[in-house]
Amino acid sequence: MAAQTVKRSALRKSHRGSEESKVTRVVLTVVALLFAGLFLLLPLVNVFYQAFSGGVRWYFESIRDPDTLSAIKLTLTIAAISVPLNLVFGLAASWAIAKFEFRGKSLLLTLIDLPFAVSPVVAGLIFVVLFGRSGYFGEWLDSHDIKIIFAVPGMVLATTFVTFPFVARELIPVMQATGSEQEQAALTLGASGWKTFWHVTLPSVKWGLIYGVILCNARAMGEFGAVSVVSGHITGMTDTLPLRVEKLHNGGSMGAASSAFAVASLLALLALITLGIKTILEWKTARAHEQAQRATVDDTQLPFTSSDAPK
């Protein structure tokens, strides 16, 4: 009872010393919402509006186009390779960084962020420098008839590079926050390293892990610049969904414009699903946190039979 009183009063505390006047609040809110509406909501709504501007039939025809279907397939393939790779890296790196102290740890942390600072076009360029015709391995690859640049392997490499930090970045703080006492407890109970990892570590970081993976996936499927450099833009062969959007957009005709939006709407849908999952995950962790806090209750009720004095 008493604890509840405190909690609710804390929630509804009126901040007479720390609040703007009503007029100021309304004006600031309206300006902020206008900005958000103009820059965030409107572009998103416009994607779907334009996608269906040619009618529902045209929308589905645009998507059923064989070149678009092959772009969907390629996009899924690339994500299916690069996301698991970065997932494994994210797990390894976060385990090492969160559970151990070692020299060079902060350097490793900084290096993980490096791909964030590299322009996607430059990310594509570095793989051209390595594997392109006049690159370091160009001749050797040519003589063995292996194609990396202007082919799928190069696109996978570039995508993996660009999405490299996502899982690790999400996992490291979560793992650091949970500490390593649970793992140590599991070890004292005789569990092996792998068992401890599977049954203790993974469950306690699962929400962070899922969030990292969906974010990584969204970026992998949506990557444009890096993939564009190494793709070669062969229709039906090396076009991913974002590249297909560009090609349709450059097509110029009225129909092509709404086709571009139809394909773009698939990617926008992906973004919405990603954000939806993210919001649900945040909601879940917030609720778990709240429940943990509510567990502490102090009660000052005096029962009618007692023979013990406080303190």
Closer Cβ to other proteins, 14 or 143, answer by number:
14
End-to-end Cα spacing for the chain: 21
Looking at 68, 150, 154, 161, which residue binds other proteins (CB under 8 A)? Answer: 161
Q: How far is the CB of 61 from other proteins (least distance, A)?
A: 19
For the segment 218-277, give every residue that binds other proteins (CB under 8 A).
218, 221-225, 228-229, 241-243, 245-246, 249, 257, 260-261, 264, 267-268, 270-272, 274-275
Taking residue 153's Cβ as centre, other Cβ atoms within 10 Å add up to 16
Q: How far is the CB of 307 from other proteins (least distance, A)?
A: 5
Site map 122..141 versus other proteins, x via CB under 8 A: x-xxxxxxx-x-x-x-----
Looking at 71, 81, 87, 112, which residue binds other proteins (CB under 8 A)? Answer: 112
Closer Cβ to other proteins, 11 or 56, answer by number:
11
Q: How far is the CB of 117 from other proteins (least distance, A)?
A: 4
| Three-state helix/strand/coil letters over the chain | CHHHHHHHHHHHCCCCCCCCCHHHHHHHHHHHHHHHHHHHHHHHHHHHHHHCCCCHHHHHHHHHCHHHHHHHHHHHHHHHHHHHHHHHHHHHHHHHHHHCCCCCHHHHHHHHHHHHHCCHHHHHHHHHHHHCCCCCCHHHHHHCCCCCCCCHHHHHHHHHHHHCCHHHHHHHHHHHHHCCHHHHHHHHCCCCHHHHHHHHHHHHCHHHHHHHHHHHHHHHHHCCHHHHHHHCCCCCCCCCHHHHHHHHHHHCCHHHHHHHHHHHHHHHHHHHHHHHHHHHHHHHHHHHHHHHHHCCCCCCCCCCCCCCCCC
Q: Please work out, in degrees rounded to the nearest 5, the angle formed at the alpha carbon of residue 283 by the alpha carbons of 281 and 288.
A: 95
Q: How far is the CB of 158 from other proteins (least distance, A)?
A: 10
Q: How far is the CB of 238 from other proteins (least distance, A)?
A: 15
Looking at 117, 252, 291, 296, which residue binds other proteins (CB under 8 A)? Answer: 117
2 binds other proteins (CB under 8 A): yes
For the segment 28-47, give every residue that binds other proteins (CB under 8 A).
28-29, 31-33, 35-36, 38-44, 46-47
Kindly indicate which of the ranges 66-74, 170-178, 287-295, 303-311 contains the residues binding other proteins, using the contact rule CB under 8 A. Answer: 303-311
Site map 167..206 versus other proteins, x via CB under 8 A: -------------x--xx--x-----x--xx---------
Looking at 84, 121, 151, 281, which residue binds other proteins (CB under 8 A)? Answer: 121
| CA–CA gap between residue 251 and residue 257 (Å, rounded) | 8
Kindly indicate which of the ranges 55-63, 64-72, 99-107, 170-178 contains the residues binding other proteins, using the contact rule CB under 8 A. Answer: 99-107
| CA–CA gap between residue 83 and residue 89 (Å, rounded) | 10
C-alpha distances (whole Å) from 95 to each of 153, 174, 178, 260 are: 29, 11, 12, 42
Looking at 160, 231, 238, 259, which residue binds other proteins (CB under 8 A)? Answer: 160
Looking at 104, 143, 291, 295, which residue binds other proteins (CB under 8 A)? Answer: 104
For the segment 51-80, give every residue that binds other proteins (CB under 8 A).
none
